[in-house]
Structure 1
């Protein structure tokens, strides 16, 4: 692959981060799911919500199915940038790419469950609708905890980067503040594991610790990441042109 094509694909993959963010936000807004519902709603209230938002939920699931594949090139370019920090494929870049591969499951599977509830909503009992609704929220909020290692790997790599330190004039792949942001996000995802134990309070699926604060920080992180990836790709291309690159891009031949 020539240099121009290689970096064009890296930039495109970085932009996919915005596609994911916008697509997911639009889908959840259409479904009325931006704010978690109360776990203690009555079965009738759950049924009424699902009936009212049936079209939005089904449309949201279709949108998510369409945008989820963009996660894969986005995950790959993230690991390619981390590879520059590690001097080649290392444990951090590999952890990120492996955990990133399963990341879309955390969005699609819960939405598939909720779509099953509303697809033939008139056929289901109140108990069935309530159970499927519980499954959605428990999976959607609770399973976020399994991606702690992914964001920690990215954050730790950013903190390990020696570019721009000790007299180095090279630009870091990720700034240190982003490393700390990723570490904090990983910590904030941990309370999600406890939604299976609580129906009220900060650790319930609509609680401030399990959902509120993590959602805000995740949104900030999700905006920052593609911006920093685009910057990283730019500096990688500059280093290669100047002959100062310490890690050669894979599958690249002279332009």
Structure 2
């Protein structure tokens, strides 16, 4: 009986060692990298790149050119920095996939989440950086070309919908069908609200101003609040899930896989 209990908990009382709480070192390290990446991304996008809060879509070619001229240095510093650390997105997706693989709902949904977020990072993150850095690289370009890069960057950043919708959907399904209680059920419903905001955001492709434009209250600010809540809850839940593991739990899961 003692042997069976030791196998399930990942500990062996015979060896005289006390299991380390808080998960393995790599899980703790990646958890803090996740938090650091989202903090750095917020600084680069909001304070330096000025993409959040988003600038107005209802502007003229000249206004766009003047806007890029005003924020040229911030965009170049912030977005080059984000390009350097962009791999943090993959690390962040990986740790979520790690915990999803611990769920009884199976590994396929974890792989689907990682793949969807990985594909979505290109139009939803990288394209904004490249478009605006290209615009500031040669600020003497024709104003209509600058306006094109301005629109393409913002519409891609705020309007990349399908991949993220799929990612939130598989995460919600995995949590709802999970019997191991890795994440609580209520977090699945927050993820579903993420899907709702992605669907509502489709209207930004039709409106140049108002609540449904890319800087609108409905299509953007409500989505930002829900996304912020989602990230804060996720950080707390991942830390709690990591703390529930012993240092030997990953090895136990590897043997069972």
Q: Deviation of residue 213 (structure 1)?
A: 0.6
| 1:95 to 2:99 alignment | no
* Contact 1:14 1:77 (8 Å CA) reproduced: yes
Unaligned runs of 5+ in 1: 164-171
* Equivalent-residue separation in structure 1 for 2:252 and 2:240 (angstroms): 17
Which of 9, 20, 31 is the equivalent residue of 2:37?
Answer: 20
Q: What's the Cα RMSD here?
A: 2.4
TM-score by length of 1: 0.83
Compared with structure 1, are the counterparts of its residues 232 and 103 closer, same or farther at alpha carbon in structure 2 (3 Å cutoff)?
farther
| Whole-Å separation in 1 of the counterparts to 2:126 and 2:111 | 23
Question: 1:45-72 deviations in whole A, cap 9, x for unaligned?
Answer: 1111110100101111112112221222
Aligned equivalents of 2:147, 2:237: Cα separation in 1: 41
8 Å contact from structure 2 (residues 119, 163) kept in 1: no
Cα pair 2:210 2:216 within 8 Å, conserved? yes
Which residue, 218, 222, 225 being the options, matches 2:231?
222
Distance 1:209 1:42 in 2: 24
Deviation at 1:143, TM superposition (A): 0.7
Q: How far off is 1:101 after superposition?
A: 2.0
For the Cα contact (< 8 Å) 2:201–2:219, is it kept in 1? yes
SS in 1 for 2:132: helix
1:174-213 alignment runs, 5 A limit: 174-213=183-222
Structure 2 residue 135 is the aligned partner of structure 1 residue 117 = yes
What's the TM-score, normalizing by structure 2?
A: 0.82
Which runs of structure 1 show a deviation greater than 3 angstroms over 4 or more consecutive aligned residues? none
Query: Aligned pair count?
Result: 234
Contact kept, 8 Å, 2:135 with 2:146, in 1: the verdict is yes
